[in-house]
Amino acid sequence: MNRSFIEQFDALLDKYTELLLGESNAELKEKVKVWILYSHIAKSMPALGKHWNELYPEAKEQVKEMMAEIKQLNEEKRNKA
């Protein structure tokens, strides 16, 4: 992948994070990226997601916490609008 594409895709993720949560910064973008990827894996390859959850229960809990935080921030954003 070339640098231009990476920058353009990063801009997409930045805007998505801002629209989803009301703000965007490096930490929130990483959390949204994990949430998107984990959700996709869980839906498209549930056996892989289950296997990973069993191998890394602490990481699974971190993902759950991130997902709860994203949901809370999204709800707060929607309630402000």
pLDDT in tens, the chain (81 residues): 899 999 999 999 999 999 999 999 999 999 999 999 999 999 999 999 999 999 999 999 999 999 999 999 999 999 987
Would you state the torsion angle of the CA atoms of residues 36, 40, 42, 43, taken in this order, to the nearest 10 degrees?
140
Domain that holds residue 64: 3-80
**Geometric angle at alpha carbon 40, from 35 and 41, rounded to 5°:** 100
How many structural domains are present in the chain?
1
